[in-house]
Amino acid sequence: MTCNGRMSREFPIGLTPPDWLVRNLQPQKAPPVNRAALARAAIAMSLPLAIGLAVDEPAYGALASMGALSGVIGDTADAYRMRILNIAIPQLFGAVGITLGSAVYGHGWLAVAAVTGVALVSGMISTIGAVASVSGLLLLLNSVIGAGLPMPGAWWLAPVLMTGGGLLVLVLALLAWPLRSGVPERAAVAGTYRAVAELMAAGGGEEYDAARHAVTQSLNQSYDLVLARRARHHGRSPELTRLLAQLNAITPVVEAAPAARLSGSPLPPEVPEAVRHLAQAVETGYTGPTGLSLPVPVTETARAVDHALRHAAGVVAAPDVDPRGIDDRLGRPAALSIRTARAARNVVLSAGSWRYGLRLALCIGLAQALVSIISVPRSYWVALTITFVLKPDFGSVFSRALLRALGTVAGLVVAAAVLSQVARGWWDVPVMLLLAPLIPALTPRGYGYQTAAITPVILLLSDVLNHQGTALLLPRLVDSLIGCAIALVAGYLLWPESWHTRVGDRLADAVADTARYVECAFGESLEPAARARMRRRLYRDLSVIRTEFQRALTEPPPTGRRAAAWWPLVVAVWGSPQAL
């Protein structure tokens, strides 16, 4: 009996889980565990609790730990300057949110109207960019908490404590900046070289496609980190110039990979090993002879790979790089702030931002109205669930609702053990030391895993504020399910654009962009820098298509089935720029 036959006996066709469900439940491939992030989460969330207990104000410590939780969730950037943006700016919006929510606490329908208005603003600003999205999320989350939970102390105390907790995460993250300035950028560029090495070593089929996608994502991340730092650097920086030159130098190697694959002959193992050797030199900042050991090329393809590798080795080994010969491949750094300002001005005029803002406001308004009419314990959890689930820029709304429900159930099992077996008081500190690191450890695995890690932490902090113990468990489950149901019906099913796949439209745009690139590359006398920038933008757009395609596959039929039908064209469009 074949392997397929054995699987058929074990899993009858009628009991085989659907493909979209398997994709949703499958954990994502995660990078190596960031031990520094785990340590920051443990310290930032347990230290406020310990201080609160020491001064006999555990509620104050719990509020500060809640603020630290938002900082831990936002602590995803590698570069130190990006961490300031990713953590500090959302904390300011969070302070505004908790202040507005506390001001309308207990005011009935006024609170419903106020939180609904905040939801509209939150949804609209979330469309500007990644930092604005997190800022809008924290603005709404904290306003919901403030409107649904009485805050201890004066009106200004809760914003100060929660913001202080978030900024504690930032301070811990920046402690090593004087000693490691520039290290994240160098590590990102070195990671790109290693991704290219895996591409050169990959065979055919899915292994090669996955490696190619990883190279594109790594290039995008490296350019973003280097250019973000360069845009804020006064004057020219030799270090940033070198990193940008090294990124530009690896591009010809990437472009030679498709030709090597189409030749039908695998590359010698010395080729990917040479790229790994260059990655080590980039990461350590070594300049000097690279000592590459490459075989003598005997074909045109091998000569192209050899020439690209030796050019990259020359750039890595050069002690000085002429800044006049460097182009950024993505536009001038000064344009970044201009594009951000333009996005902020246009958000009010954007139909997309209004649609998303109205969807979020509708769901939050329904949730707030429902819990105002029907007595629901800890009713603010309904709106909190909707806020997390209804974030299309974070992934499929349907997928997040499903994973939210499953993650909540898993987290409640851990919370039940903690709330029933651990006495409130100083024992909360070591428990938090154990639970907090699970958040950065499990978040890269997927939203369900993140929810499972956050749930016991939130319930522990809620119990410090309310002292209800295991009585919090069932209301949390019911409220989460209600929130997921509202998000699915009012924020997903009633909006056709949310359950219609957008792969076709994005593919059409990519084909048109590819045609323009071909016209400019072969029909006009473009400068190499301009042509390289067009190519990088095209690769970035194709990476977005692949991400959108993978997201659509997690949707239930018919959306997932329609998306799967686009796969042959996705492969063809993805490979077209690399064949030029």
DSSP codes, 348-359: GG-HHHHHHHHH
User: With 90 as the cut, is the pLDDT of residue 143 above it?
Assistant: yes
> Which pTM does this prediction carry?
0.76
Cα distances from 258 to residues 201, 208, 217, 218, 546, in angstroms, run: 12, 10, 17, 18, 18
Q: Is the pLDDT of residue 235 over 50?
A: no
Upstream peptide bond of 32 is cis (omega within 30 degrees of 0)? no
The pLDDT of residue 193 is 92
Residue range 565-570: average pLDDT? 72
* Burial class, 38, CB count within 10 angstroms (exposed 0-12 / middle 13-18 / buried 19+): middle
d(CA 91, CA 63): 13
What pLDDT score does 117 carry? 93
Average pLDDT in the 99-118 region?
92
Least confident of 10-19, 81-90, 132-141, 244-253: 10-19
Check whether 475 has a pLDDT greater than 90: no
Q: What is the mean pLDDT of residues 452-469?
A: 88
| pLDDT on residue 323 | 54
**Confidence class for position 234, pLDDT limits 50, 70, 90:** very low
User: 359: number of CA atoms within 13 Å, CB side?
Assistant: 29
**Mean pLDDT of all residues in 220-237:** 67
Provide the pLDDT confidence category of residue 364 given band limits of 50, 70 and 90: very high
Between residues 122 and 326, which one has the greater pLDDT?
122
Q: Cα separation of 192 and 479, whole Å?
A: 44
Q: How many CA atoms lie within 13 A of 304 on its CB side?
A: 16
Q: What is the per-residue pLDDT across 384-400, written as a single tens digit (0 to 9) for each?
A: 899 888 875 556 788 88
Tens digit of each residue's pLDDT (9 = 90 or more) over 10-46: 445 455 667 766 777 777 776 777 888 999 999 999 9
Residue type, 374: I
Q: CB-based contacts of 256: which residues, under 8 Å, 6+ apart?
A: 301, 304, 305, 308
Among 161, 153, 143, which Cα is nearest to 97's? 143
Highest mean pLDDT among 225-229, 235-239, 338-342, 347-351: 225-229
pLDDT of residue 211: 83
Span of 61-65, 142-146, 506-510 with lowest mean pLDDT: 506-510
What is the model's pLDDT at position 345?
61
Cβ count within 10 A of residue 160: 17
Lowest mean pLDDT among 116-130, 148-162, 355-369: 116-130
Both structure tokens of 205: 């089929």
pLDDT at 480 over 70: yes
- Tell me the Cα Rg of the chain: 26
| Model confidence at 336: pLDDT above 60 | no
Q: What is the mean pLDDT of residues 431-437?
A: 95
pLDDT of residue 516: 77
Percent of the chain with pLDDT over 90: 24
Q: Which of 298-307, 476-485, 522-531: highest mean pLDDT?
A: 476-485
Three-state SS annotation for 56-109 = CCHHHHHHHHHHHHHHHHHCCCCCHHHHHHHHHHHHHHHHHHHHHHHHCCCCCH
pLDDT at 3 (0 to 100)? 42
Does residue 487 have a pLDDT over 50? yes
Confidence label for 207 from pLDDT (cuts 50, 70 and 90): confident
Average the pLDDT over each of 50-59, 126-135, 540-549 and give the range with the smallest value: 540-549
Which phi and psi (to 5°) does residue 176 adopt? -90, 5
Confidence of residue 379 (pLDDT cuts 50, 70, 90): confident
Is residue 504 very low, low, confident or very high in pLDDT (cuts 50, 70, 90)? confident
| DSSP-derived secondary structure for 425-479 | STTHHHHHHHHTTHHHHHGGG-HHHHHHHHHHHHHHHHHHHH--GGGGHHHHHHH
**Banded pLDDT at 9 (limits 50, 70, 90):** very low
Question: What's the pLDDT at 101?
Answer: 93
What per-residue confidence (pLDDT) applies to 500? 66
Q: What is the mean pLDDT of residues 473-498?
A: 86
State residue 341's pLDDT score: 59
